[in-house]
């Protein structure tokens, strides 16, 4: 079933949304991108004359109630965006009454799903790898089904619209589907859009195809890097991982972030790039500072000759030029992860250079896909959001989809 085909009149739809939005210390939503992302689906249900029950996680409460991660804090913001007074169910697993009372055109938000360990299916308070852990996990699998069944009992149909968690096999993303037949479960508009964006990158790749991978560590991105080396023409590796590559060639990296146990991984990446004929682009110079602070004094050094008392916090001017040249003229662009500590205004020039080059290439007809919280934050910070082709709401999910993995949240809807 597709959401466009479905008539929600008189029906209750339970929608898995991704309302894992950042809050300030007073519980105010500081970025409501994810809430806005879910609106087309929610509004379609309401406009048809249906009622919506929204469910989401927020943060990592690890199976325990944590008031700081209560979704009650976002009720006002969701109401404002949706244009409907949203009701709140303070216990997601005991919301039958609230759900039953919903009338057409009304909306209900359930409390954080991850207040229950059943959502993730991960045992709490038992050491990983022990027999106790395995036993607890098995027991939890059973209660996970009960939890999902309970959630399903609130509604007539199920919509999966949380791309950010579509790569997780959780109760609300890939267990609940079994309690709805194929005619009563579907992807939401956001999911459809995300899937289309991934297809645009992978389906009919317009070349040259460049990927820009940044962030702090090579270890967390090695899977996707290796995978991309089989697909792209050029790969820019930037951010903190630069120094692991420098070190692998006996460079001096000072106090820079560096994974000493991943030097062989770095060399392996270089070898694979060579074998596959992929042009690997890395920063020849770095903007360095004596401490991790926006106001620290800056100096530029080669990325492999950083003085002992300094650390590289951004790509240097030569690197910025090189990155921009590499991106220019490309027809497909994927960006995940910043080129430096972009959160510091004084160390965001490298990321800005990448963002600007992507915007220019997009204006010349490239398809650019930006994914992962930090690169999305970069694009927003530099005011480039409407100058790129698509900004994904998913970090891990996007990368797994690009790796060619079938996301459990999508497979569940298709009944795979
Ligand atoms: P990740 O979560 O691995 O995508 O990394 C994102 C984080 O990497 C951002 O918060 C950046 O501030 C950080 N980062 C990027 N470059 C560096 C660097 N040279 N040194 C330390 N942190 C960095």
How would you write the pLDDT of the chain (416 residues) with one tens digit per residue? 999 999 999 999 999 999 999 899 999 998 898 999 999 999 999 999 999 999 999 999 999 999 999 999 999 999 999 999 999 999 999 999 999 999 999 999 999 999 999 999 999 888 888 999 999 999 999 999 999 999 999 999 999 999 999 999 999 999 999 999 999 999 999 999 999 999 888 887 899 999 999 999 898 888 889 999 999 999 999 999 999 999 999 999 999 999 999 999 999 999 999 999 999 999 999 999 999 999 999 999 999 999 999 999 999 999 999 999 999 999 999 999 999 999 999 999 999 999 999 999 999 999 999 987 688 889 999 999 999 999 998 888 998 898 888 999 999 998 88
The answer, yes or no, to whether any atom of ligand 1 lies below 6 A from the CB of 106, is no
Indicate the residue among 130, 163, 187 that finishes a domain. Answer: 187
CATH value at residue 178? 3.40.50.1260
Q: Do residues 183 and 204 share a domain?
A: no
Q: Do residues 161 and 220 share a domain?
A: no
Q: Do residues 236 and 319 share a domain?
A: yes
Nearest-CA residue for atom 15 of ligand 1: 340
Nearest-CA residue for atom 2 of ligand 1: 215
CA dist 23 and 241 (Å) reads 29
Structural domain span for residue 93: 12-187
Q: What residues are labeled active site?
A: 34, 217, 373, 396
Q: Do residues 156 and 262 share a domain?
A: no
Record the pTM. Answer: 0.86
Q: Do residues 19 and 128 share a domain?
A: yes
Indicate the residue among 124, 157, 187 that finishes a domain. Answer: 187
The answer, yes or no, to whether any atom of ligand 1 lies below 6 A from the CB of 387, is no
Q: Do residues 244 and 312 share a domain?
A: yes
What the block records as the tokens of 46 is 């309401």
Count of alpha carbons within 13 angstroms of residue 288, beta-carbon side: 27
The answer, yes or no, to whether any atom of ligand 1 lies below 6 A from the CB of 257, is yes
Indicate the residue among 187, 209, 224 that finishes a domain. Answer: 187
Q: Do residues 117 and 229 share a domain?
A: no
Q: How many domains does the chain have?
A: 2
Phi, psi dihedral angles at 10 (to 5 degrees): 75, 5
For 33-79, list the strands marked E by DSSP.
Answer: 51-55
Ligand 1 center to residue 397 CA distance, Å? 19
The answer, yes or no, to whether any atom of ligand 1 lies below 6 A from the CB of 254, is no
311-328: b or e for each residue (b if 16 or more CB lie within 10 Å)?
bbbbbbeebbebbbebbe
What does the DSSP assignment read for 117-151?
A: HHHHT--SSS-TTSHHHHHHHHHHHHHHHHHHHHH
Residue 369 included in any domain: yes
């Amino acid at each position: 079933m597709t959401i466009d085909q479905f008539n929600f009149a008189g029906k209750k739809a339970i929608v898995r949304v991704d309302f894992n939005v950042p809050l300030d210390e007073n519980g105010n939503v500081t970025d409501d991108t994810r809430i806005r992302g879910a609106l087309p689906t929610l509004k379609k249900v309401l406009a048809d004359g249906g009622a919506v029950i929204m469910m989401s996680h927020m943060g990592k409460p690890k199976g325990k109630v944590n008031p700081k991660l209560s979704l009650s804090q976002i009720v006002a913001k969701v109401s404002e965006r949706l244009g409907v007074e949203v009701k709140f169910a303070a216990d997601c697993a005991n919301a039958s009454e609230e759900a039953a009372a919903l009338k057409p055109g009304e909306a209900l938000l359930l409390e954080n799903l991850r207040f229950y360990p059943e959502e993730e299916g991960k045992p709490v308070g038992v050491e990983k790898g022990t027999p106790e852990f395995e036993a607890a996990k098995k027991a939890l699998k059973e209660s996970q089904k009960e939890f999902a069944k309970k959630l399903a009992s609130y509604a007539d149909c199920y919509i999966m619209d949380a791309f950010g968690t579509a790569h997780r096999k959780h109760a609300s993303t890939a267990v609940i589907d079994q309690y709805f037949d194929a005619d009563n479960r579907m992807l939401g508009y956001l999911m459809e859009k995300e899937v289309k964006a991934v297809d645009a990158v992978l389906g009919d790749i317009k070349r040259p195809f460049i990927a820009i991978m940044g962030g702090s560590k090579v270890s967390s991105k090695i899977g996707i890097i290796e995978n991309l080396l089989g697909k792209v023409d050029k790969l820019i590796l930037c951010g903190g991982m630069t120094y692991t590559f420098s070190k692998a060639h006996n460079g001096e990296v000072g106090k820079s972030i560096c994974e000493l146990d991943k030097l062989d991984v770095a060399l392996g990446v270089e070898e694979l790039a060579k074998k596959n004929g992929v042009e690997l682009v890395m920063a020849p110079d770095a903007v360095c500072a004596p401490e991790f602070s926006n106001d620290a004094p800056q100096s530029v050094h080669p990325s492999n000759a950083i003085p002992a008392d300094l650390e590289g916090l951004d790509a240097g001017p030569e690197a910025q030029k090189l990155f921009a040249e590499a991106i220019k003229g490309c027809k497909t662009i994927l960006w995940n992860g910043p080129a430096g500590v972009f959160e510091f205004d004084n160390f965001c020039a490298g990321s800005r250079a990448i963002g600007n080059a992507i915007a220019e290439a997009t204006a010349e007809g490239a398809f650019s896909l930006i994914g992962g919280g930090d690169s999305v934050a970069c694009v927003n910070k530099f005011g480039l959001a409407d100058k790129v082709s698509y900004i994904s709401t998913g970090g891990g999910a996007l990368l797994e989809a690009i790796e060619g993995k079938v996301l459990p949240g999508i497979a569940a809807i298709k009944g795979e």
